[in-house]
C-alpha cells in the first residue's frame, strides 16, 4: 500500500521525499532507471521526513525487531528502531556476519542471492518489520520474511521507501502487507 493511499495523500513530505531521490538513467545497465537514495540522505529534511513517516506508522504496533536488508535497509532501519524502542537486526549478504548464522537463498531476475541472520538475534514470538529502500519483484523481501519466520519472528509488515508500481512484490510476500512511501520517478528533473 502506498502511503498516499493510507491517509497521507496530501502530505507534502511525500513529494519532498520523491524529489530528493535522484534518477540515474541506464545504471547499472542500459534501460534501468536507477533510483539513487544517496541524494535523499544528503537532504536532511527529506531524510528526516522519511524516517518520521515510518516511525509514525510503527510507533504503536508493539514492534520489537526492525530487520534491515543489506545494504540500504541499514540506512533507515537503525533510526526507525531507535525511535520506536526496537532493536535493529541486520540481514546480511553471505559471509559478512561473524559467528553462527542462518541463511536463506532466493532467486533474482538474473541469478540467485542469499541473506543471513545471526543465530539468537531474534527470539521466537518477536514482532518484526522488514525495511529496505526499494521493492521491485519482492524476491529479497520474501527471503527476509522467510528467514525471520524460520527463527520464530512474527513478521508484521515490509516497508520500502520506493515501490515499483507494476510489481510491488505483493504476490511474493506470502500475504504480508507492504508499505511504500513513493513510486519511482522516470526522469530526474533537477539535472
Provide the annotated active-site residues. Answer: 72, 109
The separation between CA 125 and the C-alpha centre of its own chain, rounded to angstroms, equals: 21
Pairing assessment for the beta strands 101-108 and 111-118 based on DSSP bridges: antiparallel
Q: 74 is written with which cell numbers?
A: 541499514
Q: How many whole angstroms separate alpha carbon 63 and alpha carbon 15?
A: 27
CA distance 93 to 9: 36
Q: How many C-beta neighbours within 10 Å does residue 141 have?
A: 27
Q: Where in the chain does DSSP place strands (E)?
A: 22-25, 33-36, 65-69, 87-91, 101-108, 111-118, 127-135, 154-163, 178-182
Is the separation of the CB atoms in 22 and 42 below 8 Å?
no
Contact 49, 75 (CB under 8 A): no
Amino acid at each position: 500500500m502506498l502511503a498516499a493511499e493510507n491517509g497521507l495523500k496530501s502530505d507534502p513530505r511525500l513529494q519532498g521525499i520523491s524529489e530528493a531521490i535522484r534518477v540515474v538513467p541506464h545504471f547499472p545497465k542500459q534501460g534501468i532507471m536507477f533510483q539513487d537514495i544517496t541524494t535523499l540522505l544528503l537532504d536532511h529534511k527529506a531524510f528526516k521526513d522519511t524516517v518520521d513517516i515510518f516511525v509514525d506508522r510503527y510507533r504503536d504496533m508493539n514492534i520489537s525487531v526492525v530487520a534491515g536488508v543489506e545494504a540500504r535497509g541499514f540506512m533507515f532501519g537503525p533510526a526507525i528502531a531507535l525511535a520506536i524502542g526496537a532493536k535493529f537486526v541486520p540481514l546480511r549478504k553471505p559471509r559478512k556476519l561473524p559467528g553462527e548464522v542462518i541463511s536463506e537463498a532466493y532467486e533474482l531476475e538474473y541469478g540467485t542471492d542469499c541473506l543471513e541472520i545471526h543465530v539468537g538475534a531474534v527470539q521466537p514470538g518477536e514482532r518484526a518489520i522488514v525495511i529496505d529502500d526499494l521493492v521491485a519483484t519482492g524476491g529479497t523481501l520474501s527471503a527476509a520474511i522467510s528467514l525471520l519466520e524460520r527463527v520464530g519472528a512474527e513478521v508484521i509488515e515490509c516497508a520500502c521507501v520506493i515501490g515499483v508500481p507494476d510489481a510491488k512484490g505483493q504476490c511474493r510476500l506470502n500475504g504480508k502487507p507492504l508499505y511504500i512511501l513513493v513510486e519511482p520517478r522516470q526522469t530526474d528533473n533537477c539535472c
